[in-house]
Amino acid sequence: MSANPKQAREDHFERDMAQYRADFPALVQEVNGHPLAFLDSAASSQRAQPVIDAVTHYETHDHANVHRGVHTLSQRATESYEGARESVQRFINGASTREVVFTRGTTESINLVAQCFAGPRLSAGDEVLITHLEHHANIVPWQMLCERTGAKLIVAHVEDDGSVPAENVTSRFTDRTRILAISAVSNALGTVLPLDEIIPAAKAADITVVVDGAQAVPHQQVDVQALGADFFAFSAHKMVGPTGIGVLWGRETLLDAMPPWQGGGDMIETVTLEKSTWNTLPYKFEAGTPNISGAVGLGAAVEYLQGVGMDNISRYEHLLLNVLTEQLEAQGDVRIVGTAPGKAAVVSFLMDGVHPHDLGTIVDHHGVAVRTGHHCAMPIMQRFDVPGTARASLAFYNNRDDIDALVASLATVRKLFK
Amino acid sequence: MSADLEALYRDQVLAHSREPCNFCRLEDADHVVSGSNPLCGDSLQVYIALDGERVDGLSFEGHGCAISVASASMMTQMLEGCSCCDAVKTIARVHDMLTSSDGEALDAELAEQPVAALAAVRRYPTRVKCATLAWQAVHGALTEDAETVTTE
């Protein structure tokens, strides 16, 4: 294709990455008479066939309750469930499986930290620091907690390009800052936050750091120990896994000192009618029969992503991001909201004179799936004074055809509205 | 362009969305009602002026998609001058039209009205709320009023 060796390597890499698209059966279909161009992975990714197969195999052959029976199926179910925990621990480089708590997803993980860690520690006048670009899941639990405790919610400024320089956060540290709750990557704008600068400063100021990692884990290598945060939350369904399962990673010493989240079976050591004692980590936070098949799916998703390679995923998505950004910028009547340097593969945009919701319906007629609206991040939409945006978000199973389909469909939008 | 899209974005709908009628604040309004559709960020304020039992004037402000703005614009024209009682009945009929199943015959009287241009919305479950937004806001305001009148 090219005489330039660097370009030849890039072309080869792109062709190599193209093989993974075939692992996603949902992508092989027509929508409204056009091949599906799925550009909404930041909302929820498609499922990889190995994930579907692992869940089906579990449901077909191995299902029983976990941690309870001595019979064979219960042992198999327990092994599958705990095997998934080990996969996750290795994937994010947690120090031990005791630090990996299965939850319903990022939202529950953050609520768990707000209720069980921050709740007992905050008093009136203490401060919880967030940024203006957080997802509702990393705003509302803290608002609720502040209302209950009298603590104050402090909001770090987001620049006009959507970036959050470290000093925007660190300059808001006071001697009352107890918690910093911050995204690794913005779901609405694609901004990658400089956590490598922010977290050491927060730790030096004795602030507990809670990271919303939902948009980071599917797209880049995450090492929770190197990151240095205290808690890290993410969801399986954004990383080619099932819905209804996610992870709270936390430092063992902190998790150990926290009261349980919910009471019930599995989270106890002993129960008498007078008093109960709590199970060890991570079971203390997993009351009731867990989402076993979800965990199996998550484990398979992790293994699958590692097979593709997180560095490859990152590199390929950035390649596609550059193509998408260039194509949208070339439109003339399209404005990208969020242009922070080094951003992730999420492009929020507006088309002159067209409401995002109309745009979404029209491009859907061309088989193109984009998210429209406020992306569960209303404050950052208010910050940019827009009612919402259209958002194209990429995953490693996308290709240039998907981007071309979006751009071609924008011509129809233009034809109707101009 | 597909026929489906052309049916949804009829010329009349696009014309109303580009230049909505009664798109202003009504200073002497008896009711100011807000309607919002959090899914897509439509947010309209509807102003209603009453003359006794009659809808004397209607206007709206805010931002929304083409469907919600066109629908609100058509509504202000259609309900102006109606008795409150007739307005509530009309709103119910428009609501039925927008939520009826595809293929079902349109209400014969509505089919003659400009609002019939919105009928294709019924094929788009995610867009029905856009089209019904302003109508529901007015319905809320007028039926509350009716209740007050009956209790008196």
Reported as a single tens digit per residue, the pLDDT across A156-197 is 999 999 999 999 999 999 999 999 999 999 999 999 999 999
Residues of chain B in contact with residue A372, where contact means CB-CB under 8 angstroms, are 40
Q: What is the DSSP string of A360-373?
A: HHHHHTTTEE-EEE
Query: Does A3 have pLDDT greater than 90?
Result: no
Same domain, A197 and A229: yes
Specify whether the CB–CB gap between A358 and A30 falls below 8 A: no
Average pLDDT value for residue range B72-88: 96
Query: Does B150 have pLDDT greater than 70?
Result: no
Specify whether the CB–CB gap between B150 and B130 falls below 8 A: no
Q: What CA–CA distances, in Å, run from B37 to A305, B69, B127, B140?
A: 37, 12, 10, 15
pLDDT cut 90: percent of chain B above it: 75
Among A376, A378, A386, A408, the active-site one is A376
pLDDT classification of B103: cutoffs 50, 70, 90 = confident
Same domain, A299 and A401: no
pLDDT at A157: 98
pLDDT classification of B151: cutoffs 50, 70, 90 = very low
What ipTM describes this predicted complex?
A: 0.87
pLDDT at A2: 54
- Angstroms from B109 CA to nearest CA on chain A: 28
Average pLDDT value for residue range A62-80: 93
Same domain, A302 and A265: yes
Same domain, A111 and A129: yes
Choose, out of A140, A351, A354, A357, the residue to mutate when testing the contact with B (most B CBs < 10 Å): A357
Residues of chain B in contact with residue A358, where contact means CB-CB under 8 angstroms, are 9, 65-67
**In whole angstroms, what is the distance from residue B54 CA to residue A261 CA?**
57
- Between CA A403 and CA A412, with CA A406 as vertex, the angle to 5 degrees is 150
Residues of chain A in contact with residue B40, where contact means CB-CB under 8 angstroms, are 355-357, 360, 372-373, 387-388
Query: Does B146 have pLDDT greater than 50?
Result: no
Average pLDDT value for residue range B97-103: 91
How confident is the model over A112-153, as pLDDT tens digits? 999 999 999 999 999 999 999 999 999 999 999 999 999 999
pLDDT classification of B144: cutoffs 50, 70, 90 = confident
Same domain, A14 and A124: no
Interchain CB distance below 8 Å, A381 and B41: yes
Cis before A282? omega within 30: yes
pLDDT at B102: 85
How confident is the model over A252-283, as pLDDT tens digits? 999 999 999 999 988 988 999 999 999 999 99
Range in A36-45, A61-70, A100-109, A144-153 with the lowest mean pLDDT: A61-70
Query: Does B152 have pLDDT greater than 70?
Result: no
Give the domain-ending residue among A307, A333, A364. Answer: A307
**Count of structural domains, chain A:** 2
Same domain, A125 and A135: yes
End-to-end CA distance of chain B: 55
Number of C-beta neighbours around residue A72 at 10 A: 10
Same domain, A128 and A174: yes
- Angstroms from A391 CA to nearest CA on chain B: 12
Q: Does A379 touch chain B (CB under 8 A)?
A: no
Query: Does B121 have pLDDT greater than 80?
Result: yes
Interchain CB distance below 8 Å, A381 and B130: no
Same domain, A74 and A118: yes
Specify whether the CB–CB gap between A120 and A277 falls below 8 A: no
Q: Does B36 touch chain A (CB under 8 A)?
A: no
DSSP-derived pairing of the beta strands B42-51 and A152-156: unpaired
Across all residues in chain A, what is the average pLDDT? 96
Same domain, A194 and A292: yes
pLDDT classification of B39: cutoffs 50, 70, 90 = confident
Give the domain-ending residue among A307, A338, A369. Answer: A307
Domain span at residue A366?
5-47+309-417
Same domain, A371 and A278: no
Secondary structure class of A301 (helix, strand, coil) = helix
Same domain, A231 and A326: no
Question: Among 3.40.190.10, 3.40.50.300, 3.40.50.11540, 3.90.1010.10, what is the CATH number of B3-143?
Answer: 3.90.1010.10
pLDDT at A165: 98
Out of B41, B43, B124, the one facing A361 most closely (by C-beta) is B124
pLDDT at A150: 98
Average pLDDT value for residue range B131-148: 81
pLDDT at B149: 31
Interchain CB distance below 8 Å, A357 and B9: no
Give the domain-ending residue among A285, A307, A329. Answer: A307
How confident is the model over A365-386, as pLDDT tens digits? 999 999 998 889 999 999 999 9
**In whole angstroms, what is the distance from residue A393 CA to residue A402 CA?**
11
Name residues whose C-beta falls within 8 Å of residue A288's C-beta, 6 or more positions apart in sequence: A262, A264, A265, A266, A267
The domain that contains A257 carries what CATH number? 3.40.640.10
pLDDT at A136: 96
A146 part of the active site: no
Same domain, A21 and A106: no
pLDDT at B42: 84
Choose, out of A31, A337, A351, A361, the residue to mutate when testing the contact with B (most B CBs < 10 Å): A361
pLDDT cut 90: percent of chain A above it: 94
pLDDT cut 70: percent of chain A above it: 99
Query: Does B104 have pLDDT greater than 90?
Result: no
pLDDT classification of B13: cutoffs 50, 70, 90 = very high
Query: Does B98 have pLDDT greater than 70?
Result: yes
Average pLDDT value for residue range A333-353: 97
Average pLDDT value for residue range B66-74: 96
**Cα B23 from chain centroid (whole Å):** 13
pLDDT at B41: 75
Query: Does A326 have pLDDT greater than 80?
Result: yes
